[in-house]
Amino acid sequence: MSVKVGIPRALLYYYYYPLWKDFFESLGCEVVLSDKSNKGILDSGIKNTVDEACLPVKLAFGHVKNLADKPVDYIFIPRLVSVAYKEYICPKFLGFPDMARQNIVGLPAVIDTTISFMRKRHNVDQAYKQLGKKFSGNPIKVRQAYHKGLRALAKYNQLLLKGHLPEEAMSIMYDRSAKASQVKPCGDLNIAIIGHPYNIYDPYISMNIIKRLQSMGVVVVTPDHLSEDEVRHQAGRLPKKLFWTLGQRMIGAGYHYAESEDIDGIIHIAAFGCGPDSMTGELIERNIRGSTKLPFLNLTLDEHTGEAGVITRLEAFLDMVRWKNSPKKQFIS
């Protein structure tokens, strides 16, 4: 029987799952995902974390717990220190494996490999080499697995760049029954949603915001539809380099979409009490309000956010955008 490695459907799952999946599978492991986010998962996460933790961390705790109950042989909770040279994600990612280990009872073995691009790329290859040793004594096989993972990741990123959302991209890659080329949603408005991947793509905690907007006739774009170069180029306009990789994506996308002709509005989604969001959100909002007339909506998510309230705000926002877009100039003259 093959070894079961559990991967939580949370945090940077939305960025790295294809890499992790192909890597572990090439080494003969069976990859087990936690269930899709739901009330039960969030509630168990809330029960197992401190009140002050942000929503995504609480949810991630729930996913880890969900895997622990499955059961699996290992849970993969890498310590994601840094995913780009001299940058970080958030202090909470640095401590997450310890937080989980100290608080969730009955955890199977935790794989908490440290992934850090802080100094140089080389360290990451090393990390996967170390990690692979657990499952194969053959270094060549491990290297092949890593490269296979990287190829899967490259393909995934290509799909995102083509305008697919993470869930779609993954089903294109892994779900044989899904149609290879899905029809792109169309609508009369283009709205950019700016936020952490684990907030905007998780259908449960985002209250399905993307699907909801699509059904209201909106074409949704996100930071992940922009190339790394573009995002970094835009973020380079900041007076000082931002040391959060995800913050760079958000600022860069905010600046890009604020300037692009065919964007009708921007929605910024932040988790309640999120440290980085409090800074990047402020900078994005000041930029948009200062230099454009683009409609901007700030949505804060936490476990008490009511769905009804969010829908009302979205509808009001879209009404406002549509009203602004209407040919009012003719009307005035």
Nearer to ligand SF4, 57 or 170 (CB): 57
> Which residue from 291, 278, 296, 228 is spatially nearest to 236, judged by alpha carbons?
228
Out of 7, 271, 294, 321, point to the residue binding ligand SF4 (CB under 6 A): 271
Residue 220 structure tokens: 């949704």
Task: Decide if residue 219 touches ligand SF4 (CB under 6 A).
Answer: no
The binder of 279, among another protein, ligand SF4, none, by C-beta within 5 to 8 A per type, is: another protein
Q: What DSSP designation does 182 have?
A: P
Using the rule CB under 8 A, give the single segment among 171-179, 224-232, 281-289, 313-321 that binds another protein.
281-289
C-alpha span between 219 and 193 (Å, rounded): 10
Asked whether the beta carbons of 265 and 217 are under 8 A apart, the reply is no
Rounded Cα gap, residues 63 and 103, in angstroms = 13
What 3 state SS string does 123-158 have?
HHHHHHHHHHHCCCCCHHHHHHHHHHHHHHHHHHHH
Binding residues for another protein, rule CB under 8 A, total 42
Name the residue among 194, 214, 306, 200 with its Cα closest to residue 254.
194
196 touches which of ligand SF4, another protein, none (CB within 5 to 8 A by kind)?
A: ligand SF4
Question: Which range in 49-57, 208-216, 248-256, 279-287 contacts ligand SF4 by CB under 6 A?
Answer: 49-57
Contact status: 174 vs another protein (CB under 8 A): no
Closer to another protein by CB, 160 or 246: give it: 246
- In whole angstroms, the minimum distance from the beta carbon of 318 to another protein comes to 24
Q: Which stretch binds ligand SF4 (CB under 6 A): 78-86, 135-143, 255-263, 271-279?
A: 271-279
User: Residues 52-91 vs ligand SF4: string with x where CB under 6 A?
Assistant: --x-xx--------------------------------x-
- CA 209 to chain centroid: 14
Residue with smaller CB distance to ligand SF4, 102 or 181: 102
C-alpha distance across the termini of the chain, in Å: 76
Query: Is 106 an interacting residue with respect to another protein (CB under 8 A)?
Result: no
Neighbours of 261 (CB within 10 A): 5
| Residue 328, token pair as written in the block | 């009012």
**Interaction with ligand SF4 in 273-292: which residues (CB under 6 A)?**
274-277
Report in angstroms the alpha-carbon separations of 285 from 116, 224, 228, 250, 302: 31, 19, 22, 11, 20
Decide whether 57 or 142 has the Cβ nearer to ligand SF4: 57
Closest CA to 300 of 116, 57, 55: 55
Q: In the structure encoding, which two tokens stand for residue 60, read together?
A: 């991630």
Tokens of 244: 């959060």
Q: Is residue 317 within the footprint of another protein (CB under 8 A)?
A: no
Taking the C-alpha atoms of residue 254 and residue 252, their distance in angstroms, rounded to an integer, is 5
User: Residue 165 binds what, of ligand SF4, another protein, none (CB under 5 to 8 Å, by partner type)?
Assistant: none
Binding site for another protein (CB under 8 A): 49-50, 52-53, 79, 81, 86-92, 94-95, 97-99, 102-103, 114, 238-244, 270, 272-279, 281-283, 286, 290
Interface ranges with ligand SF4 (CB under 6 A) = 54, 56-57, 90, 92, 196, 271, 274-277
